[in-house]
Amino acid sequence: MVNTSYASQLEKLLPEEGSNFEEYTDAENIEKDEDGVWNESKYSYRNASFKRKAHMFFRMNWCRPIVYSLTAIFLFFFFVPGLTHKIPHHQPVYSDIRLPKTVVPIAYRLDFSTSLENVSFNGKAEIDVEVKERTNFVVIHSHKLSLSKIKITNGKKKWKAKSIKYNEKNQYAILKFNTVLKPETNYTLSMQYSGKLSDDMSGYYLSKYGDNDNPSYLATTQFESTSARKAFPCFDEPEFKATFQLNMTVDAGLTALSNMNVVDIETINNSEKKKYIFANSTRMSTYLVAFIVSNFKSLSLNDKGIDISVYTRPEQIESAEYALEVAQRF
């Protein structure tokens, strides 16, 4: 059976009556069958050049959808990815709610200076860290703090932070460096920080006591469960345990307390301020760190080499004697 639609297409290729048949470019591929119907010559197709065969192939209606589909697929897989690759994707380096475990803390050295008068504090943090996996950034908690002079050191080598990006939702800062931190290597991350004493009884906050007409103030901490990040930059998750060594600089007439005992009190040159230097702590989570700056007075004694002290408001110092006596029994 002859395909009439195909035959009609071949008819259109034929020259009109009386014209020069040989001048028609496609005529060499067309011939009449026994019924007088024009068809494509199989012989001429087989003996045609590759260019001619390709031209004849693409002239066939049934092959065009296939060619178009293959062309579209080729463009999609080879051309489009090249375009999308050139489009910058401003994705954050890190965005999970939990800190990565590529860098973990070993020891903190915190140098605080607190001003009750200005309801503010500032300090310097040095954090010894261990790198677990190759990385060029460190993620550390910081909430409502201003961070500056950030660098990381390894021996005599040091690198300043290339960029600092804050994730307000997850309350951390992403510190990116121009070097790759090597696994199983210890570094020291250092920075300066400052902030305001809060008024919501969390983090490092200002507390009021005494008469309403003549109140007294103190600065104290409440870090459980995730508020240490409001006082100093840290890896503020319970599993990131480390040691803590604190220094607390306070104004004249004030006292500083912390988890550990005082090993020294330094006088600041040309100032009435004092710096309380505390012993290094055992390994613990950030929410267990505690300190206080106040005008409290104290009574102390030494029992079998152990210092015991009781602190109280100045007007209650006489009552501290009984408390000290009871404490000695334990």
Distance of CA 199 to the CA centre of its chain: 28
Distance of alpha carbon 324 from alpha carbon 303, whole angstroms: 11
**In this predicted structure, what is the pLDDT of residue 56?**
61
Q: Which positions ≥6 away from 209 have C-beta within 8 Å? A: 215, 216, 217, 218, 313
Distance of alpha carbon 321 from alpha carbon 124, whole angstroms: 37
- Do 113 and 220 sit in the same domain of this protein? yes
Phi, then psi, of 52 in degrees rounded to 5:
-65, -40
- Do 118 and 76 sit in the same domain of this protein? no
- Do 118 and 143 sit in the same domain of this protein? yes
Residue 156 within a domain:
yes
Residue 148 within a domain:
yes
Looking at mean pLDDT, say which of 35-39, 107-111, 299-303 comes out highest.
107-111
- Do 108 and 23 sit in the same domain of this protein? no
- Do 188 and 62 sit in the same domain of this protein? no
Reported as a single tens digit per residue, the pLDDT across 252-282 is 999 999 999 999 999 998 889 999 999 999 9
Core vs surface per residue 162-179: b (16+ CB within 10 A) or e: eeeeebeebbbbbbebee
The total of other beta-carbon atoms located within 10 Å of residue 99's CB is 20
**277 or 209: whose pLDDT is higher?**
277
Q: Is 116 left (phi over 0), alpha (psi -120 to 50) or beta?
A: alpha
Q: Is residue 7 within a helix (H) or strand (E), and if so which, with residue range?
A: helix 4-13
Q: Where are the beta strands (DSSP E) in 142-252?
A: 146-154, 157-167, 172-181, 185-196, 203-210, 215-222, 243-250
Determine which of 53-62, 151-160, 167-176, 294-303 has the lowest per-residue pLDDT on average.
53-62
**In this predicted structure, what is the pLDDT of residue 64?**
63
Domain count, the chain: 2
- Do 122 and 57 sit in the same domain of this protein? no
Burial class from Cβ neighbours inside 10 Å (0-12, 13-18, 19+) for residue 50 reads exposed
- Do 82 and 138 sit in the same domain of this protein? no
- Do 249 and 141 sit in the same domain of this protein? yes
Q: Is 272 left (phi over 0), alpha (psi -120 to 50) or beta?
A: alpha
- Do 49 and 123 sit in the same domain of this protein? no
- Do 137 and 170 sit in the same domain of this protein? yes
Residue 217 within a domain:
yes
**25 or 289: whose pLDDT is higher?**
289
Distance of CA 79 to the CA centre of its chain: 33
Residue 320 within a domain:
no
Reported as a single tens digit per residue, the pLDDT across 105-116 is 999 999 999 999
Q: Report helix, strand or coil for 100.
A: coil
**In this predicted structure, what is the pLDDT of residue 71?**
74
Reported as a single tens digit per residue, the pLDDT across 223-246 is 999 999 999 999 999 999 999 999
Q: CB of 163 within 8 A of CB of 170?
A: no
Determine which of 25-29, 176-180, 182-186 has the lowest per-residue pLDDT on average.
25-29
**In this predicted structure, what is the pLDDT of residue 81?**
54
Mean of the per-residue pLDDT values of the chain: 84
- Do 39 and 184 sit in the same domain of this protein? no
- Do 121 and 58 sit in the same domain of this protein? no
Q: Provide the residue range defining the domain that includes 21.
A: 4-86
